[in-house]
Copies of this chain bind each other. A is one copy, B any other.
Amino acid sequence: MYIEKIQSPADIKGLDMNALRTVCDETRAAVLNRVSKHGGHVGPNLGFVEATVALHYVFNAPTDKLVFDVSHQCYPHKVLTGRAAGFLGNVDDMNAISGYSSPAESPVYDNFEVGHTSTSISLATGLQKARDIKGTKENIIAIIGDGSLSGGEAFEGLDEASELGTGIIIVVNDNEMSIAENHGGIYKNLRALRESKGKCEHNWFKAWGFEYKYLEEGNDVEKLIEIFKSVKDTDKPTVVHIHTEKGHGFQPAINDKETWHWGAPFNPETGESLMNFSGEDYQTLFADWMLREMKSDPTLIAVTAGTPTAAGFTLAKRQEAGKQHIDMGIAEEQACAMASGMAKGGLRPVWTVYSTFVQRTYDQIAQDLCINSNPAVINVMWGGSGTMNDITHICLFDIPMLCSIPGLIYLAPTNCEEYFAMLRWAVAQDQKPIAIRVPSNGVIHTSEEMETAFSFESKYKVVHKGQKVAIIAAGSFFQKGENVVRMLAGKGIDATLINPRYLNGVDADTLNSLKADHQLVVTLEDGCKDGGFGERIASFYGTSDVKVLVGGIKKDLYDRFDQQQLLSDNRLLDEQIVEDVLGLIK
Contacts and interface: CB of A to CB of B under 8 A. Distances in A.
Interface stretch (A219-227, A251-259, A308-316, A544-552): A544-552
B209 A207 contact: no
A507 to B, nearest CB: 14
B162 A188 contact: yes
Contacts of A67: 341
A343 B123 CA distance: 10
A367 B116 contact: yes
Interface stretch (A355-363, A471-479, A482-490): A355-363
B557 A406 contact: yes
Contacts of A132: 323
Contacts of A329: 156, 159-160, 163
Interface stretch (A1-9, A147-155, A260-268, A461-469): A147-155
Q: How large is the interface on A (under 10, 10 to 19, 20 to 34, 35 or more residues)?
A: 35 or more
Contacts of A362: 359-360, 362-363, 401
B209 A122 contact: no
Contacts of A346: 130, 134
B123 A340 contact: yes
Interface in A79-137: 103, 111-116, 119, 122-134
A503 to B, nearest CB: 11
A395 interface: no
A166 to B, nearest CB: 11
Given A127-B345, A539-B535, A298 B133 contact: yes
Interface stretch (A11-19, A36-44, A330-338, A420-428): A330-338
A208 B202 CA distance: 8
A518 interface: no
B162 A185 contact: yes
Interface stretch (A23-31, A281-289, A368-376, A437-445): A368-376
Interface string A166-195: 000000000000000001111111000000
A271 interface: no
Give the most central of A159, A323, A346: most B CB within 10 Å. A159
Given A202-B202, A407-B557, A364 B153 contact: yes
Contacts of A542: 538, 541-542, 547-550
B557 A344 contact: no
Given A160-B185, A207-B207, A548 B539 contact: yes
B153 A151 contact: no
Contacts of A584: 543
Given A208-B204, A400-B531, A543-B584, A326 B129 contact: yes
B548 A130 contact: no
A242 interface: no
Nearest to A540: B538
A328 interface: yes
A569 B199 CA distance: 64
Nearest to A112: B372
Contact of A337 (B126, B405, B556): B126
A234 interface: no
A298 B115 CA distance: 32
A160 B400 CA distance: 30
Contacts of A534: 539
A406 B555 contact: yes
Interface string A293-330: 00000110100000000000000000000011010110
Interface in A24-72: 67
A152 B203 contact: no
A337 B119 contact: yes
B371 A555 contact: no
Give the most central of A163, A208, A342, A505: most B CB within 10 Å. A163
18 contacts: A67-B341, A112-B368, A122-B333, A122-B364, A129-B338, A129-B342, A130-B342, A130-B346, A156-B329, A158-B185, A160-B183, A163-B185, A189-B207, A360-B362, A362-B363, A371-B391, A400-B400, A404-B531
The 5 closest A-B pairs by CB, nearest first: A126-B341, A152-B152, A162-B185, A130-B345, A122-B337
